[in-house]
Amino acid sequence: MTAIDSAIRAAASEIKLAAVTKAYDAKTVVIPPMDVTLRPGEFTVILGPSGCGKSTLLQMIAGLERVSSGKIIIGGREVQDLEPKHRGCAMVFQNYALYPHMTVAENMAYSLKVSGVSKIKRMVRVEAVAKMLGLADYLARKPGQLSGGQRQRVAIGRAIIREPGVLLFDEPLSNLDAQLRHDMRVELADLHRRIGATSVFVTHDQVEAMTLADRILILNKGTIEQFDTPKAIYHSPASVFVAKFIGAPPMNILGVTGDGSVLRTGDGQIVAHCEKKGRFQLGIRPEDVIVKAGGPITATIRYREDLGSHEILEADLGGQQLRIATPFGAEIDAVSTLSLSFPKNRLHLFDGDTGRAIPQSFEGQDAIRQPVKEYQ
């Protein structure tokens, strides 16, 4: 661990939002009162659709946007009225915003220069950070002479050089191509393991969220839908909104009616046994649907997509769309009608109106899901 690694690790701060709101006017409430605590050293990914308030939240933490009310407490200090530079946060944006006329070294050292750090100390820190990020050979280049991934690393270097206790990222990888995104994701995960700054990372990309986060915060119109580990978000989504947001393709959601013993789809098919009565939304992930001769549920194939490693079948179940992901090697005949079964420990039940999850609705359902072994 370098001196910079340990300095940042030591500075990792808790971030606490207490009844924080943001409204542009009475009609434009972007964040209704929000209470949340991010632990020191934790990597939080904020995930949500466009316009749900992700950047607003990040910028309020950084101090680039004022809170309308409430408190932001970083490392035990109330910071909502402090200038950004006094909050101990560093931010990395989507458009790297590097100074084009400065070299890599000058870009990285700029904030230290402005805060009066001596030239010798600046050089030592730039060298340490450049080494950490694999930029040691590029220090004399200008940003225009670098690849996208290298530029993004300079932007990260510029953020961490001040040894912040909090690192904020707003879609930092979205300008990169798929391969570079993957490489940078691995690098970011590694960087976080080493320096352990409390990190908040905004993205649209659920793969980034699943792979980088200690906990994912799912935001819907400025409100927290769920804040939990990637596993919990995937296996026990708290609402239909969360269920549809994670997984590719996302979880199937079927409208069903319960008569006190079974759940039926609109065409009268029994899809599960359950003692609840009323209208519900039943969730099952495409990879959890079992295609099996003699299965009790019948659906018609509308479309097949062969992705090489597996196939996605798009089917019609009583007028509702059902996607099925077949495992590698499964041969599905060129039939148009499928027999299916829904394993009960892979089902999710949601309220028909609010979409909130109703846990453990199925008799004998395991609290922790077991892998499905059977496939024929």
CB of 217 to ligand ATP, least distance (A): 12
Residue 56 interface partner, choices Mg ion, ligand ATP, none, CB cut-off 5-8 Å depending on type: ligand ATP
Total number of residues shown for the chain: 376
Residue 276 burial (C-beta neighbours within 10 Å; 0-12, 13-18, 19+): middle
Q: Taking contact as CB under 5 A, which single stretch among the options 55-63, 189-197, 204-212, 351-359 is the one that binds Mg ion?
A: 55-63
Residue 337 interface partner, choices ligand ATP, Mg ion, none, CB cut-off 5-8 Å depending on type: none
According to the binding rule CB under 5 A, does residue 55 interact with Mg ion?
yes
Q: Token pair of 301, please?
A: 């194939």
Are the C-beta atoms of 34 and 17 separated by less than 8 Å?
yes
Of residues 11 through 30, those in contact with ligand ATP by CB under 6 A are: 24, 28, 30
Residue 235 burial (C-beta neighbours within 10 Å; 0-12, 13-18, 19+): middle
CB of 335 to ligand ATP, least distance (A): 42
Q: Token pair of 125, please?
A: 């820190």
Beta bridge partners of 317: 320
8-state DSSP, 266: T
Residues 42-61, mask of contacts with ligand ATP (x by CB under 6 A): ------x-xxxxxxx-----
Of residues 184 through 223, those in contact with ligand ATP by CB under 6 A are: 204
CB of 52 to ligand ATP, least distance (A): 4
According to the binding rule CB under 5 A, does residue 203 interact with Mg ion?
no
CB of 218 to ligand ATP, least distance (A): 12
CB of 95 to ligand ATP, least distance (A): 12
* Sheet strands (E) in 230-319: 252-259, 262-264, 270-273, 277-284, 290-291, 297-306, 311-317
According to the binding rule CB under 5 A, does residue 94 interact with Mg ion?
no
- CB-wise, 227 or 362, nearer to ligand ATP? 227
What H or E segment, with its residue span, contains residue 22?
strand 15-25
Residue 303 interface partner, choices ligand ATP, Mg ion, none, CB cut-off 5-8 Å depending on type: none
The rounded distance, in Å, linking the Cα atoms of 27 and 102 is: 44
Helices (H) and strands (E) in the chain, counts: 9, 20
The rounded distance, in Å, linking the Cα atoms of 302 and 158 is: 51
Residue 108 interface partner, choices Mg ion, ligand ATP, none, CB cut-off 5-8 Å depending on type: none
Are the C-beta atoms of 367 and 360 separated by less than 8 Å?
yes
Are the C-beta atoms of 201 and 213 separated by less than 8 Å?
yes
Residue 52 interface partner, choices Mg ion, ligand ATP, none, CB cut-off 5-8 Å depending on type: ligand ATP
Q: Would you tell me which residues interact with ligand ATP (CB under 6 A)?
A: 24, 28, 30, 48, 50-56, 204
Q: Would you tell me which residues interact with Mg ion (CB under 5 A)?
A: 55
